[in-house]
Chains A and B, each alone.
Chain A
Amino acid sequence: MIITQIHQLDMAKGRRQVSQMSEFPLFSGSFNRWPKMSTNNNIAQARKLVEQLRIEAGIERIKVSKAAADLMSYCEQHARSDALLVGVPTSENPFKDKKPCILL
């Protein structure tokens, strides 16, 4: 028996069309947004959320200027070995086309 899943998201997405067109039995009762829960679960959820937020609020952070500088220096350090940035000498390129090379 094939159970079609109900989706609240944009139907044009390939992924959403997937479950509707599937030939494989889907026994899942899960939905894209969780269904309404009982009060007990509400409390448990709320408590979990508070704990999660406490953890997130408590982590150590650095300034964006420092983080940006580190990202930049990583790029600089590795730029020379990045073939998609600087290219690869034709002699070492296993994918090269067999044409005479033009010197810049």
Chain B
Amino acid sequence: MACQGLSKGETVSSLRAESENLKAKLEEERSKLHDVELHQVAEKVEALGQFVMKTRRTLKGHGNKVLCMDWCRDKRRIVSSSQDGKVIVWDAYTTNKEHAVTMPCTWVMACAYAPSGCAIACGGLDNKCSVYPLSLDKNENLSAKKKSVAMHTNYLSSCSFTNSDMQLLTSSGDGTCALWDVESGQLLQSFHGHSADVLSLNLAPSETGNTFVSGGCDKKANVWDMRSGQNIQSFETHESDINCVRYYPSGDAFATGSDDATCRLYDLRADREVAIYSKESIIFGASSVDFSLSGRLLFAGYNDYTINVWDVLKGTRVAILFGHENRVSTVRVSPDGTAFCSGSWDNTLRRWAGYSFRFVYCCIWTL
């Protein structure tokens, strides 16, 4: 097969040279606008006081490592999935199990609640993402109504419904992300650009439009346009796999947690990394991150069994939470921001709540 349409004078080496030039130009453009650090600008912000955060409920019932969890929009229910193939829907108030599904595969690495609260999606080593409608009848066998939606050529690492129950976004070990129509199972858009497994994805908060961010084993975090499939922005400053990506509540930035033991904040409009959350004493990878409602706090779960709470603006750690007896695999703040839930390889989930004392004091004083 003849070489496909090389333009005049274009060779592989000239293209490579041009890409090097463009990379240098990109760095230059980004540096020009790097006039100050985030924590410097945040010096005038009131420091957070002492944190008091405790486990309020422990959810026991999984027979093996909890790998993923998601909150329902009703702020009360959660779905969690584990290594043994079980997917459980819990009531976080009462700790009762409302539904349980046994998947035909082990290592169910991804699970998500539908916006309506009427269905869940999950998948893992079966390379698929399946949707299970939840029925009010507890005795009904959910597996009977199972619908296979997504098909990848490697494990499913993460899934998320878009703003409706009708579309599902997935990421996979095959290096791609994909958008699917739930009803027909049709592939609507695929996203190519990662050069290794994609481990996590997160949809932008709805006000900011149709974009999402993904992170993977190629150490890159990519921002995508959902309609065109185009990779809009790419960030590569981590030194190891990016395990989790999560948008800042305003949609203007996102945080990542990585195996290099750091979490980083990237601002989309400044097009660069603006903060690193790390300490010399933290040497284990961060598996999962999530923001509090205002974006001031970043909760990060680590492989050393702890959860660190970071002050997003100042870049300092404000609390370490102990409790889990094995790696923390997933951390998610509830939709109303009143609590957050963590899942771990110790087979349990914990719901945490609490606040900063000093901040309460300051608020009362100014009223």
A binds B: yes
Task: Using CB atoms and an 8 Å cutoff, list the residues of chain A in contact with chain B.
Answer: 9-10, 13-15, 18-19, 22-24, 26, 28, 30, 32-34, 39-40, 42-44, 46-47, 49-50, 52-57, 59, 61-72, 74-88, 93-95, 97, 104
Q: Looking at the complex, which one of B16, B37, B126 makes contact with A24 (CB distance below 8 Å)? A: B126
Q: Looking at the complex, which one of A59, A81, A104 makes contact with B360 (CB distance below 8 Å)? A: A104
Please tell me the number of chain B residues within 8 Å of chain A, measured between CB atoms.
95
**Smallest Cβ-Cβ distance to B16: which chain A residue:** A46
Whole-angstrom CA separation of A68 from B161 in the bound complex = 30
Given known A32-B197, A82-B294, A85-B294, contact A93–B19 (CB-CB < 8 A): no
Whole-angstrom CA separation of A43 from B6 in the bound complex = 8
Tell me if B295 and A71 are in contact (CB < 8 A).
Answer: yes
List 13 A-B residue pairs with CB atoms under 8 Å apart, sorted by A's residue number.
Answer: A24-B105, A30-B175, A39-B3, A52-B234, A55-B231, A57-B26, A64-B37, A68-B42, A71-B253, A75-B296, A85-B296, A85-B356, A95-B338
Tell me if A46 and B153 are in contact (CB < 8 A).
Answer: no
**Smallest Cβ-Cβ distance to B353: which chain A residue:** A95
Whole-angstrom CA separation of A52 from B224 in the bound complex = 12
Tell me if B29 and A93 are in contact (CB < 8 A).
Answer: no
Question: Can you list the 5 inter-chain pairs with the closest CB atoms, starting with the nearest?
Answer: A87-B355, A53-B22, A78-B294, A46-B15, A82-B294
Tell me if A62 and B295 are in contact (CB < 8 A).
Answer: no
Given known A28-B127, A40-B4, A93-B338, contact A72–B30 (CB-CB < 8 A): no
Tell me if B336 and A83 are in contact (CB < 8 A).
Answer: yes
Tell me if B233 and A59 are in contact (CB < 8 A).
Answer: yes
- Is B187 interfacial (CB 8 A cutoff)? no
Task: Using CB atoms and an 8 Å cutoff, list the residues of chain B in contact with chain A.
Answer: 1, 3-4, 6, 10, 12, 15-16, 18-19, 22-23, 25-26, 29-30, 33-38, 41-42, 45, 48, 53, 56-57, 65, 93, 104-107, 109, 125-127, 153-155, 173-175, 193, 195-197, 199, 217, 230-234, 241, 248-250, 252-253, 259, 267, 269-272, 274, 292-297, 312-313, 327, 333, 336-340, 345, 351, 353-357, 359-361, 363
Tell me if A83 and B15 are in contact (CB < 8 A).
Answer: no
Tell me if A42 and B12 are in contact (CB < 8 A).
Answer: yes
Q: Please give, as numbers and ranges, the residues of chain B lying within 8 Å of A23 by CB-CB distance.
A: 106
Given known A18-B107, A61-B33, contact A95–B193 (CB-CB < 8 A): no
Given known A61-B33, A74-B249, A83-B337, contact A50–B22 (CB-CB < 8 A): yes
Tell me if A64 and B248 are in contact (CB < 8 A).
Answer: no
Q: Looking at the complex, which one of B126, B193, B241, B354 makes contact with A84 (CB distance below 8 Å)? A: B354
Given known A30-B174, A63-B270, A87-B360, contact A55–B296 (CB-CB < 8 A): no
Q: Please give, as numbers and ranges, the residues of chain B lying within 8 Å of A61 by CB-CB distance.
A: 29-30, 33, 269-271
Q: How far is the CB of A9 from chain B (nearest CB, A)?
A: 7
Tell me if A63 and B327 are in contact (CB < 8 A).
Answer: no
Q: Please give, as numbers and ranges, the residues of chain A lying within 8 Å of B23 by CB-CB distance.
A: 53
Q: Please give, as numbers and ranges, the residues of chain A lying within 8 Å of B296 by CB-CB distance.
A: 75, 79, 82, 85
Q: How far is the CB of B5 from chain A (nearest CB, A)?
A: 9
Whole-angstrom CA separation of A90 from B126 in the bound complex = 45
Tell me if A84 and B231 are in contact (CB < 8 A).
Answer: no
Whole-angstrom CA separation of A79 from B26 in the bound complex = 35
Whole-angstrom CA separation of A87 from B231 in the bound complex = 39
Q: Please give, as numbers and ranges, the residues of chain B lying within 8 Å of A86 by CB-CB distance.
A: 355-356, 359-360, 363
Beyond known contacts A15-B197, A85-B297: 19 more, CB 8 A cutoff:
A13-B241, A22-B106, A24-B125, A32-B197, A33-B195, A40-B1, A43-B3, A43-B6, A43-B12, A55-B232, A56-B233, A68-B41, A70-B252, A71-B38, A72-B313, A79-B359, A81-B293, A84-B293, A84-B333
